[in-house]
Amino acid sequence: MKRTELREIVFKSLYQLENNKTDLTVEEAIQYLVEDFKGEQYLYVKNFVKEVIEKKDELDEIVSPHLKNWTLDRLLKTDRIILRMATYELKYTDTPEKVIFNEAVEIAKVYSDDDHYKFINGVLSSLSKS
């Protein structure tokens, strides 16, 4: 599985966990999405999801100043999750910025409203300049 597909699973897992009213675990959220998913790729997804959840408040604090006339609460859940994922990668991984931006925009094109990918790109551009 490519990293793009793994990021999509991370996104779907985070979305599922945010919308779930029961005590769904990270492992259960991932397993619902991909059967027989083990090994290095499973650990990548699991760790990515857990880290974003654990650092949610910090990530939100980093993103908030770059939301020009918006608040996190007003954003679509999809956009909020995409921004958290990208901010996490920018701050805590050595993934090239260009890759992070591209992946975030591509996820937004599929899972967010029509032109929200432009908003995501703008926020990330502003974030990367600071």
For 60-119, what is each residue's pLDDT tens digit? Answer: 999 999 998 889 999 999 999 999 999 999 999 999 999 999 999 999 999 998 889 999
Task: Say how many C-beta atoms besides its own lie within 10 A of residue 54's C-beta.
Answer: 11
Residue 89 sits in a domain of what CATH number? 1.10.940.10
Pick the residue with more confidence: 46 or 38? Answer: 46
Length of the chain: 130
Q: What SS3 class is residue 75? A: coil
| Domain encompassing residue 53 | 3-129
Instruction: Give the pLDDT mean for 41-57.
Output: 93
Number of domains in the chain: 1
Q: Give this prediction's pTM.
A: 0.92
CA 18 vs CA 23, 86, 122, 125: distances in Å: 11, 17, 24, 26
